[in-house]
Structure 1
Amino acid sequence: MAPRVQSSIILSVFSTAAGSGKTLTAINIAADMARQGYSVCLLDLDLQFGDVAHYLGLPQTVTMAEAQVAIEQNPEIFDVNGYLARYTHRDVQFSVLLPPVKLEDAYRMDVSFLEQMVRSLGGFDFIVLDLTPVFNILNMVMLDLSTLIIYLGVVDTLPAIKNYKMGYDTLRRFNYDKSKIKLVENYDKKQKVVNIQNIERLLDEKFYFRLPYDPKAVQASIQRKCPVVLLEEDYPLKKRYRQISELYSRDKNQQVKKEESGEGFFRRLYHKWG
């Protein structure tokens, strides 16, 4: 496989808690970038329990498991485009790389292959990564590769706040610049035990965006297999997702500065000991 120059902006949507709205956010950012006319590829990197295919109504006939087998057998003729699903809604289209269907295939996935796969997608304007809510080796490598990290959380209880802060502190300990990490709160209707200003003081950082509580938008999106940003109705959540993606798209040519070594902490560690 011929190497490509990595010219894409890579956006990782990450959380340290399940049920934070991470997958829905990743799908909608990818969809709205595509709506603006950019070439976009969305990767579902929850290898065991990924939901992107279900949300978008895509058949999992070809996945990254088949792509890994193909590149191992014939690396010189491998073309990633043959393993991408396409989501289309009216005149909006974006590509999706889906996770394995079988659990045993998920365990066989190789982190080095997945890193190579992301690099091979360098011809897209934007690559959006939907990560699992853990600090595992795969996520660490992908976070290092990322231009920007959207760190999502529902901070409505003391345990949730503690979990969110621990995750943010972990990201900061590995020398990520503050400009690379964007804090996003997914608002829950339940009464918070701590107000948002106190949470921001605890984090020593303000939330970049707060997603509104909009169950009607989420329900309509799931029922119609359509991202919120592409629905006809004028939902509050649709407006907010569009605001997030438009901020990134306006700054497409102003890439976040990479580490001088060209390789982040986690990838250096993985390549040394992995």
Structure 2
Amino acid sequence: MTSKPDGDHSQQSAAQSEMPLIEHLLELRNRMLKMVLAVVICFAVIYPFANELYLWLSQPLRDLLPVGQTMIATDVTSPFFAPLKLALVLAVFAAIPIILYQLWSFIAPGLYAHEKRLAFPLLFTSVILFYLGAAFAYYVVFPLVFGFFTAIGPEGIVELPDISSYLNFVLKMFFAFGVAFEIPIATILLILTGATTPADLAAKRPYIVVGCFIIGMLLTPPDVISQTLLALPMWLLFELGIVFGRLAQRKPDESGQSTDVSGE
């Protein structure tokens, strides 16, 4: 029997070492294709109702406009592209659970058992909190903010909001409040990873409150109402994150003693 040359052995070992990476890349590609397919399917379902959805989205502002006044389109293509953009964004929002599930399915095999027990509830809760943030913006913030803007204008000025500008504004607000409502998740993760402790976060509360108002000023229109409506929920959610972080940091084991959930 003849032995294979050293070059053949090195090529074979290199191919074996590269196979897991190739398999991971193929799996990642398949997961991403499923994400895109989920968005496309949601878009196909939502787009036929795009005009009705835009009317629903603009209802908080249109209800406050004087009788006889309505929204306008300053661009020729706006009546087509504004509902199209809204349908696409809503399709992404609707597909978020599927997108996160695909991400979870990709990373879950590489997690330890205690990490899986924490990761999935946090992932599920983050989706719910994002939706709650968007709902809070629509049902609570928009009526107050638009009521303020429509009432503060000089007398004799006719308000004719542009549909594209309005869409960009509300999408920005949805994103800002959706991300702001993720603060409890971020706080819990910081505590569980050991980056900080509930006591340290509680000691930095004055700085957190100031930071919430600064973020509210940067992410919302330049008025006190919208800034406060974003800053106060952020502060309350931060406090909620500390409470749940204290509960999640340690849990009693079967013997009644407290053990770190990180497994250390």
- TM-score, normalization: structure 1? 0.21
Choose between structure 1 and 2: higher helix proportion. 2
Of the two, which has the highest radius of gyration?
2
**TM-score w.r.t. structure 2 length?**
0.22
Of Structure 1 and Structure 2, the greater strand share is in 1
